[in-house]
Structure 1
Amino acid sequence: MKAQVMRHEMACSRTSGHPQIAYTQCGAGDETVIFLHGIGGNKDNWSEQLSYFAGEGYRAVAWDVRGYGDSDDYEGDFLFDEVSADLLRLMDELGAERAHLVGLSMGGRILMDFAWRYGARVQSLTMCGSFPSFGKALSQAQREDYLRLRREPLLAGRSLQQLAPELIASLAGPDVQADVYDALHASICRLRPQSYLKALEAAVYFDRTEEIRLISRPTLLLYAENDRLTPPQMGQEVQAMMPKARLQVLPRCGHLMNLEVSALFNEVVHAFICNEVKSE
């Protein structure tokens, strides 16, 4: 059951520069928390988190990655260094010298890259259902097959609206509620097919296995009990690469834990920020 949270005014803005990055801001605290969505999401996926953290005295921000939601599209490939530069630009325009950064799935991968490049700008990291590389799990042929199976339906003319039920079934836990299902469906239907495919390809070839070993900022690794995409044992593998990171598994939810168990998710992330980070 979702907790009822006090609603705060949410303001939508766009950065300068190219591509312009759309973001929603809520609250006006001295500390900033920025939320990064996954490969099938957008900034609206974080509305519960924005309200909660604004109510706890933070400035809470969620963005649309380039090519997603209300952000501009872009030419060329999806490159993680360019996306990290987008996040840095957003922080500069917000006047946030440092921020607590929370990323789900692809958002967590972006944070692995960002924290390695711009560690001084990180106050804390929460990476949810993320891993640094397909590594030995998939051969080159398997990676190509993974992409082919996702490209072919779109290239054959199936719409994202038609594909949404299959994608949701692969991501959501067994107890997903109707309102969460509807939010996921709306997110998937908003995807731009070419931007989605470019992000998928970048994710398959992403590798920050060595770089995350260098991350020294306080880090929480969150995984979900019923996540079939990034199961909890994957979290144990990531923690082995980041021995100072804290690992926690959220019960009775799938990959999209911030939507499926939003109240618990908010409490766990907030407790980490308060108890782990502020005790430094």
Structure 2
Amino acid sequence: MPTIAANGIDIAYTLEGEGAETVVLINGLADEKETWAYQTPALLEAGYRVLTFDNRGVGATDKPAGPYTSELLADDAKALVDALGIERFHLMGVSMGGMIAQEYALKHPSDLASVTFACTYAAPGPFCSRMFAMWADTAPVLGVPFVMRDVTLWAFTLDFFRTREDELAEFETGMRYMTMPVPAYLAQLAVIQAHDTTDRLGAITVPTLVLAGEQDILIPTALSHELAGLVPDAEWRTVAGGHGCVWEHPDDFNAAFLDFLRRH
């Protein structure tokens, strides 16, 4: 797995495809770059080059002491694309990745052909803040795998639990055997706890799509809709599924994303 020195750390990344346009994908909390397995093939087939990477604190990327911020992780992403010589691209982040993408669009708009914020918010508010405080209390006692098993309950819809037992078991097994250290998890968790771009999103000038699972209960769909209202001329779209719509209904998610890309 290639790594590159960027912003003071070694970042693990994968760059695939020969397309003239590049799509950069930013992961959510505790997710490694392989979690884009349902999106990368569709983007490559559509003719794009695709960059995925492990955020600071997860996977094969360095895990320095935290806490981290969405701005710091956006700086990591900027340093990575600069080191790879990628000058203009489409950016998409999901969940925590969407928060990082917001900071990137605010700091480096000239880099972007478009930006997509998926299943995310401008600020956590009272509901999400309480949930994340519970995760922060639980992880040091019961470990990251236990917390992520709980996240599975929030990420998928009732229909997924009822009808797709084999896939559910695969996800639950992946969560159960996670190796992310507790300090690194808490450092990333701080990102979604402290993120707040509410008063700054009006400055975004890049073509923007805000995308959400219509049944998202982890980051409620209403919070994503509020985010869309804060970005000038942002497109708003929902797709089937909940917070894990990128995995539960990838065809629907990919179709919405590719439609936006083709128009920008």
* TM-based fold match above 0.5: yes
Alpha-carbon offset, residue 274 of structure 1: 0.4
Alpha-carbon offset, residue 94 of structure 1: 2.2
Aligned to 1:254: 242
Indicate which of 31, 46, 50 corresponds to 2:21.
Answer: 31
Name the amino acid aligned to 1:266.
Answer: N
Aligned to 2:137: 152
Q: Structure 1 residues 134, 71: closer, same or farther in 2, change over 3 A?
A: same
Q: Structure 1 residues 238, 80: closer, same or farther in 2, change over 3 A?
A: closer
Matched, 1:81 2:71: yes
**Counterpart contact for 2:216–2:243, Cα < 8 Å:** yes
Matched, 1:111 2:101: yes
**Counterpart contact for 1:14–1:20, Cα < 8 Å:** yes
**Counterpart contact for 1:41–1:187, Cα < 8 Å:** no
Matched ranges for 1:19-98 at <5 A: 19-98=9-88
User: What percentage of residue pairs aligned between the two structures are identical?
Assistant: 25
Matched, 1:218 2:194: no
Cα distance in 1, alignment partners of residues 133 and 243 from structure 2: 22
Q: Structure 1 residues 236, 59: closer, same or farther in 2, change over 3 A?
A: same
Cα distance in 2, alignment partners of residues 120 and 149 from structure 1: 38
After TM superposition, the score normalised by the length of structure 1 is 0.85
Q: Structure 1 residues 187, 14: closer, same or farther in 2, change over 3 A?
A: farther
**Counterpart contact for 1:132–1:207, Cα < 8 Å:** yes
**Counterpart contact for 2:23–2:50, Cα < 8 Å:** yes
Structure 1 unaligned regions, length at least 5 = 1-11
Cα distance in 1, alignment partners of residues 262 and 133 from structure 2: 44
Q: Structure 1 residues 147, 271: closer, same or farther in 2, change over 3 A?
A: closer
Cα distance in 2, alignment partners of residues 151 and 236 from structure 1: 26
Structure 2 unaligned regions, length at least 5 = none
Cα distance in 2, alignment partners of residues 213 and 98 from structure 1: 22
After TM superposition, the score normalised by the length of structure 2 is 0.90
Matched, 1:133 2:123: yes
Residues 36-69 of structure 1 deviation map (CA, whole Å, 9 limit, x = unaligned): 1111311011012111111211111111100111
Aligned to 1:207: 196
Q: How many residues end up aligned between the 2 structures?
A: 258
